[in-house]
């Protein structure tokens, strides 16, 4: 019997996540506030996001021009 393991978490701060996705930190904060992006507190103030979860939440396939 084989067990599936969860992918390793890739926890990063908001600045690094914003750079990764090419958006500003304000965009990520809005997505966290509306519940579409999960964030984690590290200590008192530091906010981290898991890049794997963020990719699933933020990235969507785009239809080709002829597929409308």
What is the share, in percent, of the chain residues with pLDDT greater than 90?
Answer: 60
* Residue whose pair of structure tokens reads 């999960």 in the numeric block: 38
The model's pTM: 0.77
Is the confidence at residue 27, as pLDDT, over 80?
yes
Q: State the pLDDT confidence band at 44, using cuts at 50, 70 and 90.
A: confident
For Cα atoms 34, 52, 56, give the angle at the middle one, nearest 5 degrees: 55
Strands 46-50 and 40-42, sheet pairing: antiparallel
Output the pLDDT for position 64.
85
- Cβ 20 vs Cβ 58: under 8 Å: no
End-to-end CA gap in the chain: 45
């Amino acid at each position: 019997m084989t067990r599936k393991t969860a992918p390793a978490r890739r926890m990063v701060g908001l600045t690094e996540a914003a750079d990764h996705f090419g958006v500003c930190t304000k965009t990520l904060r809005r997505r966290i506030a509306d519940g579409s992006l999960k964030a984690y507190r590290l200590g008192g103030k530091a906010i981290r996001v898991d890049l794997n979860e963020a990719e699933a939440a933020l990235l969507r396939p785009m239809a080709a021009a002829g597929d409308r």
